[in-house]
Amino acid sequence: MRIGNAFDVHPLVVGRALVLGGISIPFELGLEGHSDGDALTHAVIDSLLGAAGLGDSGVWFPPTDPKWKGANSIEMLRVIMEQLKERNWKVGNVDSVIICERPKLSPYFAQIRQNLAKVLEVTETQVSVKATTSEGLGFVGREEAIAVHAVALIEKA
């Protein structure tokens, strides 16, 4: 078994969709990014890459590559899952925490877990999504960004 951990942060801006775990969440602000800005899916990708010792998402999806401009991050996760499977890895479990002042994300957890579990080829019980606020402190507290921590365990299939 191997574990990997990851952190991602994206700025909250006007005029962008708020996408987390491949789910569009109604909110007046959205996440800036070269792709769709899905910080949760990015953190999951980086935790898997970390566990497999395959670098980080910057290596696999360079921000200079027009191919990934506006990309659905779930498609990026699919690419990384293919890489893991080629190396005989399967996902044991993924745990994550989204640090976000607003909006309230818990109503979307079930849908996000279902969505990620499908791509990770595991059951929903193997995908944990949690959220916390920053208690008004720092850039997350000022609603300038959303941050995500994720941990993944992988094992030989």
Binding residues (CB under 5 A) for Mg ion: these are 8, 42
What dihedral do alpha carbons 51, 33, 63, 131 form, nearest 10°?
-10
Looking at the Cβ atoms of 42 and 113, the one nearer to Mg ion is: 42
Shortest Å distance, C-beta 10 to Mg ion: 6
Q: Minimum CB separation from Mg ion for residue 141, in Å? A: 20
Least distance CB 155 / Mg ion (angstroms):
26
Q: Which is nearer to Mg ion, 27 or 60 (CB)?
A: 60
- Give the whole-angstrom CA distance, residue 10 versus residue 92: 27
Supply the minimum distance, in Å, between the C-beta of residue 7 and Mg ion. 10
10 Å Cβ neighbour count for 70?
10
Closest CA to 150 of 2, 3, 7: 7
Give the strand order in the sheet containing 89-99. Answer: 29-31, 2-14, 145-156, 89-99, 127-132
Q: Using alpha carbons only, what angle is made at residue 91 by residues 90 and 97, rounded to the nearest 5 degrees?
A: 165
Residue 13 CB, shortest distance to Mg ion, in Å, is 14
Nearer to Mg ion, 32 or 143 (CB): 32
- Residue number, nearest CB to Mg ion: 42
Q: Which residues pair with 14 in a beta bridge?
A: 29
Nearer to Mg ion, 8 or 101 (CB): 8
User: Whose Cβ is closer to Mg ion: residue 86's or residue 131's?
Assistant: 131
